[in-house]
Structure 1
Amino acid sequence: MTSLAIVERAYRGALEVAYFDALYLGIEIHRQLGLDVLLRGEAVGYALAAPAAPPVRIGGRLLTTLDTPRDDLRRLRDAGAGIWVEEDGLAALGIGRDRLIDGVRTAAPGELAARWPEYDRIFHL
């Protein structure tokens, strides 16, 4: 059996994630326990196949500490974690399945909740 991590809240600010964000934690959980990740709500945007955002410059300073959730999702996928997005979240943001990172699967609302008994642990990150 494996674990399930549910992520609903999207990016909450560079200070929070510069040190340790939910998907970075997910990589460690997967390494130790095995993991499927379910992205819901605004967090489905993490799974978009999109180019990296350009670096942010404030005055003469280039910020290099900003988080890259797509990279973390790709690392999780490449390590064998299951990556799921809820169809409701995609629809709410007007995103089609064709815009998702390779290997990301979609789930109907409540589909993974019905599978909770298959998981040893469920985390809400």
Structure 2
Amino acid sequence: MRRQQAKEKREMTVFYSRQGTSPQSRHHGLYNQGATCYLNSVLQVLFTTTELHDRLDSQSQTDLQLRKIFEGLKETTCGTENIMATFGIKHVYEQRDAAECLKRILHQISPQASEVSTY
């Protein structure tokens, strides 16, 4: 697993250097653990919803896992194994709906964080 992540990171570095993109303007992503693109898409949307970040509760395990992912995405491409375990996602090759995933996450995070979605 680590070798694959290192290989993907090297490939991304080569890609961006060929594109002439500076590391500061580069966005980081999430490794796809199988067919978890639905989860990755939702997490990327929540990552760009910065109002949510300040509302995450440090006493909530789900909120802490989201915070870890968000902090990690500022630096590098991240895995989703821990957040998948938090949400009870066990079958990584089972495709699911992104809207249902978002609804599930909003029901599991702290109430003050989930309020952001109503703005």
The TM-score range, normalised by the shorter chain, is: under 0.3
TM-score, with normalisation over the residues of structure 1? 0.24
Question: Greater strand share, 1 or 2?
Answer: 1
Question: Greater helix share, 1 or 2?
Answer: 2
